[in-house]
A = this chain, B = another copy of it.
Amino acid sequence: MNLEEYLNRVGKSARTASYNISTANTGQKNSALLAAAEEIENNIPLILDENQKDLVFAEEKQLATALIDRLALNKSRVLSIIESLRHVALLDDPVGSIEQLNARPSGIQVGKMRVPIGVIGIIYESRPNVTIEAASLCLKSGNAAILRGGSEAFHSNQVLSKCFQRGLELADLDTSCVQIINTTDRGAVNAMINLPEYIDVIIPRGGKGLIEAISTGSRIPVIKHLDGVCHVFIDKDADFQQAIDITINAKTQRYGTCNTIETLLVSEAIYEQVLPSIFQRLAEKSVHIKACEKAISLASTITDLKTSPATEDDWSTEYLAPVLSVKVVPDLSSAIQHINQYGSGHTDAIITKDHQKAMKFLRAVDSSSVMINASTRFADGFEYGLGAEIGISTNKLHTRGPVGLEGLTTQKYVVLGDGHIRE
């Protein structure tokens, strides 16, 4: 059987399974999640052995240390996978709820029922816990999942998905609800993103290169974000202490996350008052400043602060590192314009005490999360109360911002009549 035939077979059985799982009751789905957790708990030595095979191979291939770290499992990491399964079992099931059921003049009642999307393809890299995370969220939301993990985590992913399928089996659910691609052939990704007849949406998790390649090549809608070029704008009516604390938190709490800011915008009216304290604290954290002309003259007065002039490219660069671009802007409107032009539509915050300006920023900034007087680091499914997160979307259609169980569902109209015909 060649790759295309194999993927077709996987897709076809996923489609059939999706009909079965779409109407499974919540208790049965939860049983499967809990049984999968137990299955993993009973097989920790086996899981660590399989992970060891991947680690040996990764070291042979001299993969980057960071990648090997993400790949490695130990008992505590496996326990947190088990905990996450039990957590998903506790979440409310979004499927089947009917909203806005209203009577119409014709006599029919019309509402919207929340239903699964169908078949979800997840393409991801290195971290084996994504296998269980993706499988559990797709199952709970009533979708079938086709998983394609990185070749470097092949053995770990296979053993974890087997445990999950055993959970499905024990709960009397179709094991084809969650299928993992059993080949490391790179062509499998390409085959997956060209199966619109069997897969309804693709969710890639990984580096920008992977996501870019998938978005460009996919014939299936992709839920994704590419960049996180996030901003804090300090308005002239900001509380300065809030402005300083939020900027430092949004930049330095973690450097490698997508909701970390890359650019600080400051109102011209107050930049001389607020920037020195910010620069002082960034110098202590060894953050490199790429500044506009006005800001750089201030920055150069701070001892031990690394600075360089910002180029046009800096305004749209996601550093994912201790680097911050800083720009002084005339007013709120120019801040909004800068963010909509150079940002990535991910997460942006204004610091202000002025209600009108706060509301204008909230409405006019075209991003998946827009914040008033809060750190961009809050842009996260858990912080938002979604209970779980399969990723963040900067798409404008369907689901935007952190994506939890609801983002994995859609709605259909339901019409209740009693023999009604259209006149």
Residues on A lying within 8 angstroms of B by beta carbon are 19, 22-23, 96, 102, 104, 106, 108, 110, 113, 115, 117-118, 200-201, 221, 239, 241-242, 245-246, 248-250, 253, 337, 340, 349, 360, 362-364, 366-375, 377-379, 383-385, 396-398, 400-402, 410-422
Given A106-B378, A413-B379, A422-B375: A115 and B363 within 8 A (CB)? yes
Copy number of this protein in the oligomer?
2
CB pair A419–B200 under 8 Å, yes or no, is no
Contact status of A373 and B419, CB under 8 A, knowing A117-B396, A363-B113 = yes
Complex CA–CA separation, A366 to B421 (angstroms)? 22
Contacts of A421 in B (CB 8 A): 245-246, 248-250, 253, 374-375, 377
Q: What is the interface of chain A mostly: helix, strand, loop, or mixed? A: mixed
Given the complex, which residues of B lie within 8 Å of A374, measured CB to CB? 108, 415-417, 419-421
Structural contact, B96 and A422, CB atoms closer than 8 A: no
CB–CB B110/A419 < 8 A: no
Nearest first, the 6 A-B pairs at minimum CB distance are A374-B417, A242-B419, A249-B421, A377-B422, A371-B415, A397-B398
Residues of B within 8 A of A378 (CB): 106, 108, 415, 417, 420, 422
- State which of B383, B411, B420 has its C-beta within 8 Å of the C-beta of A400: B411
Contact B364 A420 (CB under 8 A): no
Residue pair A369, B115 in contact (C-beta under 8 Å): no
Tell me whether A414 and B102 are in contact (CB under 8 A): no
* A370 contacts B118, C-beta separation under 8 Å: no
Q: Closest CB-CB distance, A238 to chain B, in whole Å?
A: 10
Determine the chain B residues whose CB is within 8 A of the CB of A367 once the complex forms.
412
Report whether A369 and B400 are in contact in the complex, using a CB–CB cutoff of 8 Å. no
Contact between chains at B401 and A413 (CB < 8 Å) = yes
Taking a contact as CB atoms under 8 Å apart, the answer to whether A200 and B396 are in contact is yes
- What are 6 A-to-B residue pairs whose CB atoms are below 8 Å? A22-B364, A104-B385, A113-B370, A349-B415, A369-B412, A378-B415
Q: How far is the CA of A385 from the CA of B110 in the complex (A)?
A: 8
> In the complex the two chains form, is A410's CB within 8 Å of B384's CB?
no
Distance in angstroms between the alpha carbons of A366 and B246 in the assembled complex: 46
A371 to B422, CA, bound (A): 13
Q: Taking the nearest CB of chain B, how far is it from the CB of A127, in angstroms?
A: 22
Cα distance A118–B364 in the bound complex, in angstroms: 11
Residues of B within 8 A of A96 (CB): 363
Give CA–CA (A371, B340) in the complex, Å.
43
Q: How far apart sit A63 and B364, CA to CA, in the bound complex (Å)? A: 46
* Residues in B neighbouring A385, C-beta threshold 8 A: 102, 104, 110
Please, how many angstroms separate the alpha-carbon atoms of A264 and B360 in the complex? 54
Contact A110 B384 (CB under 8 A): yes
**Which residues of chain B come closer than 8 Å to A369, judged between CB atoms?**
412-415
> A70–B249 Cα gap in the complex (Å)?
61
Asked if A413 meets B397 with Cβ closer than 8 Å, knowing A363-B23, A364-B19, the reply is no
* Cβ of A70 to closest chain B Cβ, rounded Å: 22
Nearest CB of chain B from residue A106's CB, rounded to whole Å? 6
Please name all residues of chain B whose beta carbon is closer than 8 Å to the beta carbon of A422 when the two chains form the complex: 249, 253, 375, 377-378, 383
Report yes or no: B22 in contact with A104, Cβ–Cβ below 8 A: no
